[in-house]
Each structure stands twice: as C-alpha cells, then as structure tokens.
Amino acid sequence: MRETYHEALSKVVDDLVSMTNRVQTAVDGATVALLDADLTAAEKVISEDADLDRLHDDVENRCFVLLARQSPVAGELRTIVAALRMVADLARMGDLAAHIAKIARMRYPKHAVPESIEPNFQRMAVLATEMTEIAGRTLRERNILDAEKMADDDEEMDTLRTMQFTELLGDEWAHGVQAAVDCALLGRYYERIADHAVIMGSRVIYIVTGLHPEGDNWSIA
C-alpha cells in the first residue's frame, strides 16, 4: 500500500514536469506566432491549451485522492500541497501563452509588435521560456540552486518591462494607440508567466526543505 502511494505521488510529480515541458512549448509557439505573425502557430497554441486544462483537472483530482486516501507523512503532504498549487500555476501559464497567441491571431496578417520593440519581446520570451525550463528542472531534480538562479532572470524581466514602458510612452513612439495597448498587455502576460515560474521554484524549495524562502513571491498565486 505505501509503495503504491509513493508511486502515485511520483507519477503526479512526473506529470507536473511534463506539463512544464508543454508550457514551454506553448510559450515558444506563442512567441513565434507573435513575432512572425504566424497564424498556424497561434491556432496551435490556442487549441492545445485545452489539453493543459484537462491535464490540470486530472492531476488535481489525483492529488485530492492522495490527500483523502491516507494520512500522508510530512514530506508527502508538502509535495501534494505544492503539487496542487503548481498544477494551477502551470494551467495559468498555459492560459497566458494562449492570451499572447490570441493577440497575434487578432492582428494577423499584421504584426502586433512593431519592429523597434521586437528585440525587447524576443528577450522577454527567451527569459520566460528559460525560467519555465528552470522551474521544470528544479522540480525534476529537486535542486534548490536552480530556483535561486531564477531570481536573476526575474530581475532582468522587470528591467525589460520598465524599458518597454519607456518606449511605449516616449515621444518617439510612432505606432499609435493599438500597438501600445497590445504591447502593454503582451508584456504583462510574459511578466506573469515569469512570476509563476518564480513561484513554482519557491514551491519546490518548500517541498525539499519545508520552508518558504524569504522574500519570495510565495503569496502571489
């Protein structure tokens, strides 16, 4: 019985890792859709978001069963509680990638992002994917250091967001209101994907150590 329990829990963690891979693919696809004005890529991200939602429901239900089935010991309990939250983070990250793809689709065949601000979004996208990858790897390897490294990426993400506003609201912005509004929302979506990746890192630290890291975004769900 204990072994089956462990196996079921271990399967939950494996599924979270594979959901993380799917989220990475979704963020990459959304970025291609956005920066190449690629309608097929946009449609793919949007339709595959439903798979992530189904996976979410499945993993969530299995966590409930594990919580109900027998009194889990401390480490198991932490893992299940963290898993319940990570699966919600991952579903949300998928939604955010789909939001990005929807803006790309809405503006197609035009580019939603003007050329002058493309490098900024390109870098935001690289960071968002990298941070998601770190979250997945940290979970797989239960490696605390990777989660800490993520803080640097997050700081760069904040800087990019500030630079974005400087450009959008500057006198030299010649792309009109619609492009500015699109960029402000797109930047917000990438930023939130990164936030969730940071939170996922915190949740892994919690699984491993039982402690919430100081000064993290733990309370932001």
CA distance 210 to 194: 23
**Closer of 178 and 209 to a second copy (Cβ):** 178
**Closer of 44 and 56 to a second copy (Cβ):** 56
Q: Which residues of 27-53 are buried (b: 16+ CB within 10 A; e: fewer)?
A: bbbbbbbbbebbeebbbbbbebbeebe
- Binding positions for a second copy, 176-195, rule CB under 8 A: 176-178, 180-181, 184-185, 188
E strand segments, the chain: none
- Binding positions for a second copy, 47-86, rule CB under 8 A: 53, 56-57, 64, 67-68, 70-71, 74, 77, 81, 84-85
CA distance 53 to 158: 28
Is 111 near a second copy (CB under 8 A)? no
CB-CB neighbours of 82 under 10 Å? 22
What's the closest the beta carbon of residue 189 comes to a second copy, in angstroms? 10
What's the closest the beta carbon of residue 119 comes to a second copy, in angstroms? 20
Residue range at the interface with a second copy (CB under 8 A); choices 2-10, 27-35, 135-143, 165-173: 165-173
Q: Report whether 109 contacts 178 (CB < 8 A).
A: no
**Closer of 93 and 125 to a second copy (Cβ):** 93
Is 92 near a second copy (CB under 8 A)? yes
**Closer of 83 and 125 to a second copy (Cβ):** 83
CA distance 161 to 135: 21
Is 95 near a second copy (CB under 8 A)? yes
**Closer of 26 and 168 to a second copy (Cβ):** 168
CB-CB neighbours of 66 under 10 Å? 20
Task: Please give the residue ranges that form the binding site for a second copy (CB under 8 A).
Answer: 53, 56-57, 64, 67-68, 70-71, 74, 77, 81, 84-85, 88-89, 91-92, 95, 165, 168-169, 173, 176-178, 180-181, 184-185, 188, 212, 218-221
